[in-house]
Amino acid sequence: MAEQKQANHGQQDWEDRACQTFSAERKEDFVVLVLAGITLALVWTGLVGPQFFKSLFF
Amino acid sequence: MAGGGIGVDYTLRNLPRMLPGLLLCLVFGWLALQWDATIHNWQREYKEAAVVLSSVKEGKASADYNAYKQAKDDKYMAALGQFEKGLESKKPSKPFVLKKDTYESVYTSGTMPTKLEFGNLMIQIQMTYVAVLLLLGMLIRNTIGLPAIFQAGTIAARPIIKPGIVILGAYYLWSDVLRVGVIGLLLVVAFVMGTAVLICFWGRKGKVDDGLAGVMAAGAGVCGVSAAVAVAPVVNAKPRDFFYAIGTILLFGTLCLFTFPYIGQLLGMSQPVFGAWVGTAILNTAQLVAAATWYGHQSLLTANIINIVRVGFIPLIVLWAIYFYVIKPAAACADTTKKLNVLQVIREKFPIFILGFFVMVTLNELGFFTQTQRDVLGKDLLKIFFAIGFAGVGLNIAFGDLRKAGGKAFAIGFIAATLKAILAAAAVMLIGAEAFTVK
């Protein structure tokens, strides 16, 4: 009985962990898309051009 | 965990906690890119100095720097003239000219300057920004350690590789994505799904606990930590087994990351073939992107498509695990309460960032980018995203995590993943570069 209870508890832990992971991965995906969108806008508007990268280094 | 796929909770509430580590990765990434730019410049100078040296030995070189420069300009103008007349199909690029002091030093000493030799050597042994970030990051993490204040941020830096994957879409046409993607799909089905199914059946036959075999099948087959976490509750994995499996996946991935570029060179793999190989054999996005970038840009273009196909398989592997470990046994004992909600699993597990990649490919197909914009996105800005992400990957390779590998999971996962890597190498080499080349 105690073993069964512990097993159920363990199962719940994993389910919670999986839910948290995938909710976080969803957020992560949205952040990724937003960052890519901002980058694209910067390049399209010409704010970031071919000299930008070289200007970052000595 | 090294290159693991557990999601980062990017919220404003977490930002102060993440900021120090993110800044550390930004600075570390910048330093590595500075190193990369320097050694590439030295290698360019090395190649030009070698030409000058051979002219000196033949007595054709002039002591006058201006005469050397003028000769280079004349040669370029002549080639440009040929191109404009339509006699040459490729427009010549502007010549690389040595700086005055370097030219004079090479001319008078008749030897190659040490720093140029060094730059050339660093490129030959592929000690680019990717290697520096991974090796130095790992060294820092396992010697002086990473103070707690930086830990959350360095973990949060790893997914910054993904916007790079999305904007790289500006380099592809749909014809390339479909051509390489279809072969990638076959490779993924054969090797990635094959490994997962093999481990499940092998585990059953060897009387390995379902939880352990299921987690290992998902992790070693598809997508490392992320898939393992998704499958763990389905297969009732025990925490100990789960961490054994994760340790094994991380150990295998780390070994692949540092050895595959050299194995690829030894086997004489072209860049597209290497990209197809790592896309199939390495278990998670960060590690395979790092290995492919390490090998070269063409390799990355191919690996990226295979990876997109592979991560699209996460929902399918979860569906397989539910079927194999839950539905099938339930059906065997006539339990009809357990059903498979395919749409729900796909909706919950599909990695939506890959849709951004497809949007970029479509924009490129429709002519929304100039060649300059493509290069800015797919070469310059990509490097910035990758450098920050690789800094996070390197600084999170902790030997303590790798030591968690063990038990039966280690044997099963390691053998299956190694077998997959060997067979995949043979398959991609047989298929050949043409099929994997992104033009």
pTM: 0.79
- Range of the structural domain that residue A24 is part of: 2-55
Best mutation target among B353, B363, B382 (most A Cβ atoms within 10 Å) is B353
What pLDDT sits at residue B325?
A: 66
For B357-395, letters b (16+ CB in 10 Å) and e give bebbbeebeeeebeeebbbbbbebbbbbbbbbbbbbbbb
Residue B5 confidence (pLDDT) above 50:
no
CA nearest A22 in B: which residue?
A: B7
Q: How far is A54 from chain B (nearest CA, A)?
A: 9
Q: Residue B2 — pLDDT band, cuts 50, 70, 90?
A: very low
Find the mean pLDDT for residues B91-116: 89
Q: Residue B275 — pLDDT band, cuts 50, 70, 90?
A: very high
Intra-chain end-to-end CA distance of chain B, in Å:
35
Cα atoms in the 13 Å half-sphere on the side-chain side of B287? 29
Residue B253 confidence (pLDDT) above 90:
no
Q: Which of A22, A35, A43 sits opposite B376 (nearest CB)?
A: A43
- Candidates B391, B369, B377; CA nearest to B301 is B377
Reported ipTM: 0.77
What pLDDT sits at residue B1?
A: 39
Domain count of the fold of chain A: 1
Q: Residue B238 — pLDDT band, cuts 50, 70, 90?
A: low
Residue B3 confidence (pLDDT) above 50:
no
Cα atoms in the 13 Å half-sphere on the side-chain side of A6? 5
pLDDT tens by residue, B393-419: 889 888 777 666 556 667 777 888 888
Answer yes or no: do A36 and B166 touch at CB < 8 A: yes
Cα atoms in the 13 Å half-sphere on the side-chain side of B233? 16
Find the mean pLDDT for residues B296-307: 90
Cβ atoms B391, B137 nearer than 8 A: yes
CA-CA distances (angstroms) from residue B368 to A50, B210, B365, B428?
17, 50, 8, 33
What pLDDT sits at residue B354?
A: 83
Residue A18 confidence (pLDDT) above 60:
no
Residue B334 confidence (pLDDT) above 90:
no
What pLDDT sits at residue B72?
A: 87
Answer yes or no: do A21 and B11 touch at CB < 8 A: no
Q: Residue ranges of the domains in chain B?
A: 35-124, 154-436
Residue B12 confidence (pLDDT) above 50:
yes
Find the mean pLDDT for residues B86-98: 84
Find the mean pLDDT for residues B291-296: 90
Q: For residues B200 and B325, what is the distance between their CA atoms, to the nearest angstrom?
A: 9
